[in-house]
Amino acid sequence: MPTSNESHSAQVLGQTEQHLYYLNERVAIHQEMKNAFNALVAAANTANIDLSIASGFRSFDRQLMLWNNKFSGKTPIKNIAGESILAASLSPLELTHSILLYSALPGASRHHWGCDIDVYAPNLLADDYQLQLEPWEYSAQGPLAKLSAWLVKYAHQFGFFLPYASFQGGVASEPWHLSYAPLAQQYQQAFDIERLAKALNNSTILGKDVIIKNLDDIAKRYINNVCAAPTNVILTKQ
Ligand SMILES: [Zn+2]
């Protein structure tokens, strides 16, 4: 996968697009995941599930914008009960933890890798339905229950798993977030906290001081704290 250590660490941090394949103008995935993803989509189709990507690759800069919009109070922050919280009422450290529940730090999002995607199925939703990417939509009572049940049963056969299947005290449960294990395991192993600190230091991230100061703790609680791939996940690239 990596052409060099330099380019690989740029991929880990979301600072290059050289590893990507564009499915359309909006959505890019890792080029070495294309076959596995197509196989997953074809299999879901036979179960009448139009498996589609709501969000694929995201760059460092895009994640930085999302982060800063939350930190500045421009976009709402939600707690684990789904209630909006007031950014202005929190200390910088409290605010940082509140954002990390749903949004990764720029440089530490699995979406940088291109092998992690948020999925849904438009054919299971009403035409005018606005997808929220909230857990209830994927629960047994939600409109995407059929997709969720299918993923739990079959995704591993194509190399995919759900790193945020359940809340582990870090990132909230994200039943829509799929990860392609053969590539994701390599990126996860390549995580380098010094490189992340350097990238954040060189950025315009809001809350920089408190983030850098608490980066070890943040890495333990959010970045490295994911559900393991099931032991039966296929680890050979298709
Ligand atoms: Zn995601």
d(C-alpha 106, C-alpha 179), whole Å: 18
* Mean pLDDT taken over the chain: 95
Does 198 have pLDDT greater than 60?
yes
Classify burial at 97, counting beta carbons within 10 Å of its beta carbon; exposed 0-12, middle 13-18, buried 19 or more: middle
Among 172-181, 201-210, 228-237, the range scoring the smallest mean pLDDT is: 228-237
Residue 179 Cα, ligand 1 centroid: separation in angstroms?
A: 9
Other C-beta atoms closer than 10 Å to the C-beta of 133 total 16
pLDDT of residue 5: 78
pLDDT digits (tens, 9 = 90+) for 99-113: 999 999 999 999 999
pLDDT of residue 1: 47
d(C-alpha 238, C-alpha 233), whole Å: 13
pLDDT of residue 238: 82
- 233 within domain boundaries: no
- 71 within domain boundaries: yes
pLDDT of residue 89: 87
Residue 66 Cα, ligand 1 centroid: separation in angstroms?
A: 13
Does 7 have pLDDT greater than 70?
yes
CATH of the domain at 205: 3.30.1380.10
Query: At which residue do the structure tokens 């996940």 appear?
Result: 233
Give the residue-averaged pLDDT of 49-72: 97
- 40 within domain boundaries: yes
- 234 within domain boundaries: no
pLDDT of residue 13: 96
Other C-beta atoms closer than 10 Å to the C-beta of 192 total 13
Give the residue-averaged pLDDT of 36-46: 98
Domain with 177 in it: 5-223
- Report the domain count for the chain: 1
- 238 within domain boundaries: no
Task: Return residues with CB closer than 5 A to ligand 1 (ion).
Answer: 118, 177
- 11 within domain boundaries: yes
| DSSP conformation class of 7 | H
- 230 within domain boundaries: no
Residue 229 Cα, ligand 1 centroid: separation in angstroms?
A: 16
Residue 210 Cα, ligand 1 centroid: separation in angstroms?
A: 25
E strands, the chain, where? 20-22, 28-30, 52-55, 77-78, 84-85, 116-120, 160-161, 177-180
Residue 175 Cα, ligand 1 centroid: separation in angstroms?
A: 9
